[in-house]
Amino acid sequence: MARTQQQRIVLGLKVRQFRQERGWNFEELGKRTGISVSYLNEIEKGKKYPQPENLQKLADALSITPEFLASPELTKQYAPLGDLLQSNFLNELPLDLFGIEMQQVVEIIARAPDRVNAFISALLEIARNYSLRDENFFFAALRAYQELHMNYFEDIEQAADAFVKAHRMPVEGGVPAQLLAELLATEFNYKIDDKGLDPYPELNSLRSVYHPRKRRLLLNGRLNERQRAFQLAKELGFNVLQLRERPYTSTLLRVNSFEEALNNYKAAYFAVAILINRSAFVRDLRAFFQLPAWNDQFLLQLMGRYQVSPEVLFQRFNVLSRDFDLHKVFFLRFIHNLDTGKFDIDKELHLNRRHQPHASGLNEHYCRRWISLTLLHDLQNLQLKSGDHTRMLAGVQRALFLDSHEEYLCLAVAKPGYPTKNRNVSVTLGILLDDQARQVIRFCDDPAIPRVTVNVTCERCSLSDCRQRVVPATAVQKREERKKIQETLARLLEK
């Protein structure tokens, strides 16, 4: 009977524990069981599962029953690892994408079980206390995978180029949604209902739902041309790349596996690649960077030329690492809830290393000096004054982070969160202003670009004269209090 990886790992840990408790090496256990040293090593690493006769020999030598040896029950020493294995979390993590084998993880745990298990217990406790679900880990792993590859995947680029060439699709921008719909219908036997979600008011926040058995794509009737084109292009991605394990809704309401999250990203990447041709975009981006001064209209005109949303356009900035040698980049998307006034980061990506700003799980107040938030304020004021809920705003900023003293050129676009009416969205691209960036981006020294000192959250900012502050610097105050206590204790102990 074939054994699961979990069963092999559990048995291997038991054999290792009882062997070490008796002070035996592999040679000694081999003499007592008649099993080769190499095979014992494979058993302990979770690579092999012994046949019934060898299982009995191991149990006899270790003075335990074969039933306990084969059971999923672990001793107290490895109990936290057992909880982790039973949760299936390790199996869901995409270890292979990072060149890591499960056996390597288990071997690390087995070397120092007490310390590592305490660490695992702490992680599980943190997950429970902060209501972290599997998808939190899946999305974190997905971001790490994107960052590891600089968010650029040549195999998907080539698949997109081949598809565009085979179907003579436009490469200079403006791929019509109708063309994409026809390709889905003729190439993949899709039935597309442009207003398929309209009878279901509970689903008005979704842009599309795919019915796999009927091969029907139900679209939200309120989508504009750009949103509709992206949903159709993404469906083409699932089919061209043959991604079987996939979500059936445009928004990932619940993630069942890492494979599902990864395939959803790949399909979206394919959509961006066919909507914005890489070669054409690199040409346009070179022209943009060579402007002598910042021009917000150029950025908005790029979206008009390719007929895409800010999110799709900023995703295509993934060519920065490959074609411009710019690697120290971050991408952020902010959601502004117009009913509560709250700002949240719901998408982030940091190339090369973890940059600021980044998402905060502390329920704190993001710095209102960021261009991401100031543009959202400007957009809200414009909507209140004019009633126009269709306009987008573009802006730029040189942001100097107070604590790290790193300066970023931040480009941002704010737009209505259509079709959801009670929110606006901003997308921001931050490029670290190092020597390479200054050479590539001619307008970065434009004196008209605002230079602003920023921080991550108000609670952690020590700026004393900040007019944009919305709450006191409580974290800074606590840090100063602890510092004074430590200084007083140091003086006391010196006496």
Tell me: do 155 and 21 sit in the same domain: no
pLDDT of residue 154: 95
Tell me: do 324 and 182 sit in the same domain: no
Residue 68 belongs to domain spanning: 5-132
Tell me the Cα Rg of the chain: 28
Tell me: do 326 and 389 sit in the same domain: yes
Give me the CATH number covering residue 265: 1.10.10
Tell me: do 354 and 205 sit in the same domain: no
Tell me: do 326 and 474 sit in the same domain: yes
Residue 193 forms part of a structural domain: yes
Domain count, the chain: 3
Sheet holding 329-337, edge to edge: 343-350, 329-337, 423-432, 407-416, 393-401, 451-454
Tell me: do 336 and 384 sit in the same domain: yes
pLDDT of residue 141: 77
Residue 453 forms part of a structural domain: yes
Tell me: do 204 and 325 sit in the same domain: no
Residue 487 forms part of a structural domain: no
Residue 490 forms part of a structural domain: no
Q: Model pTM greater than 0.85?
A: no
pLDDT of residue 82: 65
Q: How many whole angstroms separate alpha carbon 212 and alpha carbon 248?
A: 8
| pLDDT at position 119 over 70 | no
Work out the pLDDT band at 54, boundaries 50, 70, 90.
Answer: very high
| pLDDT at position 79 over 80 | no
Q: What is the pLDDT of residues 294-316, one digit of tens each?
A: 999 999 999 999 999 999 999 99
Residue 418 forms part of a structural domain: yes
Show which of 275, 297, 328 is a domain's final residue: 275
Tell me: do 217 and 81 sit in the same domain: no
Q: HSE on the CB side for 233, CA within 13 Å?
A: 28
Residue 337 forms part of a structural domain: yes
Work out the pLDDT band at 6, boundaries 50, 70, 90.
Answer: confident
Q: How many whole angstroms separate alpha carbon 447 and alpha carbon 400?
A: 15
Q: H/E/C letters for each residue in the chain?
A: CCCCHHHHHHHHHHHHHHHHHCCCCHHHHHHHHCCCHHHHHHHHCCCCCCCHHHHHHHHHHHCCCHHHHHCCCCCHHHHHHHHHHHCCHHHHCCHHHHCCCHHHHHHHHHHCHHHHHHHHHHHHHHHHHCCCCHHHHHHHHHHHHHHHCCCCCHHHHHHHHHHHHHCCCCCCCCCCHHHHHHHHHHHHCCEEECCCCCCCHHHCCCCEEEECCCCEEEECCCCCHHHHHHHHHHHHHHHHCCCCCCCCECCCCCCCCHHHHHHHHHHHHHHHHHHCCHHHHHHHHHHHHCCCCCCHHHHHHHHHHHCCCHHHHHHHHHHHHHHHCCCCEEEEEEEEECCCCCEEEEEEEECCCCCCCCCCCCCCCECCCCHHHHHHHHHHHHHHHHCCCCCCEEEEEEEEECCCCCEEEEEEEEEECCCCCCEEEEEEEEEECCHHHHHHCHHHHCCCCCEEEECCEHHHCCCCCCCCCCCCCHHHHHHHHHHHHHHHHHHHHHC
Tell me: do 218 and 264 sit in the same domain: yes
Q: Hey, what amino acid is at 314?
A: F
Q: What is the pLDDT of residues 367-389, one digit of tens each?
A: 889 999 999 999 999 999 998 88
Residue 382 forms part of a structural domain: yes
Cβ-count burial 365-393 (b if 16+ within 10 Å, e if not):
bbbbbbbbbbbbbebbeebeeeeeeeebb
Give me the CATH number covering residue 11: 1.10.260.40
| pLDDT at position 468 over 90 | no
Tell me: do 211 and 359 sit in the same domain: no
| pLDDT at position 494 over 90 | no
pLDDT of residue 114: 61
Tell me: do 154 and 232 sit in the same domain: yes
For the segment 401-419, the average pLDDT, to the nearest whole number, is: 89
Residue 202 forms part of a structural domain: yes
For the segment 426-452, the average pLDDT, to the nearest whole number, is: 95
Tell me: do 255 and 391 sit in the same domain: no
